[in-house]
Amino acid sequence: MSTLLEVSGVSVSFDGFKAINNLTFQIGEAEMRAVIGPNGAGKTTFMDIVTGKTRPDEGRVLWGEKSQSLLSMSESQIAQAGVGRKFQRPTVFEDQTVAENLMLALKKKRSPFAVLNFRASRADQERVEELAGEIGLVAALARKAGELSHGQKQWLEIGMLLAQEPRLLLVDEPAAGMTPAEREHTTEILVEAAKTRAVVVVEHDMEFVRRLDCKVTVLHEGSVLAEGSIDHVTSNEAVIEVYLGR
């Protein structure tokens, strides 16, 4: 299994506070990874660095077969390279319909002139409907995203993420605010997605993580504390200490 993303020796500090400290992280082509850690462990900052929102003070972030550096790329270039991100809170375009939201996310040319001349083909329409079916929003295609419930917005965002057809999915707390049945469904989608691409899930809910059944990375104070199966890390002394305190 070849490495898709390699983060090595990355550090970043905000006004003297080290949010990420010499972090090293790797993920392969089709792999599911759960990232856990207490508040302030640097989980969100880690995602910010990978997606280009935050520039690290030092370190390397390499991507793909050609080991391209992501640090010199803008957010949109990184996204086009194949990194998709789902935010902690659902951020969909509330003024636009579900169909428009999905159409925006479809993997197509992104330049202004290409978009100006874009007309949705039959295949595009069908792909949108297919995605809507996957996330259970077929009935809501013509509704404005702002009218959806919180859970539906989460779904829509996951649908948009899938529409982007990214090679790496970064998912921040996907199950927050969902019913048990919805969580089940989310797990299915993520596990399915991980068969063809890399998925990194940041989650607090241990039960959810356990259900994902994958390798777990524990972050603490900006660096990796432990890595391995869920049972391995939950039995790790240092992890217990961090989570439960003394």
Question: Could you list the residues that contact another protein (CB under 8 A)?
Answer: 13-15, 17, 19, 51, 53, 74-77, 79-80, 84-85, 87, 89-91, 93-97, 99-100, 103-105, 110-112, 115-116, 118-120, 125, 128, 138-144, 146-147, 150, 153, 160, 164, 177
Nearest residue (CB) to another protein, 132 versus 239? 132
Instruction: Give the sheet arrangement for strand 17-28, strand by strand.
Output: 17-28, 3-14, 58-63, 68-69
Q: How far apart are CA 67 and CA 16, in angstroms?
A: 31
Q: C-alpha distances in angstroms, 17 versus 24, 59, 166?
A: 19, 17, 32
Are 138 and 169 within 8 A, CB to CB?
no
Our CB check for another protein shows the closer of 124 and 227 to be 124
Considering the complex, state which of residue 106 and residue 191 has its C-beta at the smaller distance from another protein: 106
Minimum Å distance from CB 240 to another protein? Answer: 28
b/e per residue 140-153 (b: at least 16 CB within 10 A): beeebbeebeebbb
Shortest Å distance, C-beta 18 to another protein = 11
Shortest distance, position 192 Cβ to another protein, whole Å: 22
Write down the least CB distance from residue 207 to another protein, Å.
21
User: By C-beta, is 172 or 203 nearer to another protein?
Assistant: 172
| Nearer of residues 20 and 27 to another protein, judged by Cβ | 20
**In whole angstroms, what is the distance from residue 222 CA to residue 39 CA?**
11
Q: Compute the least distance from the CB of residue 197 to another protein, in Å.
A: 15
Q: Which residues touch 46 (CB under 8 Å, ≥6 apart)?
A: 7, 20, 23, 25, 35, 219
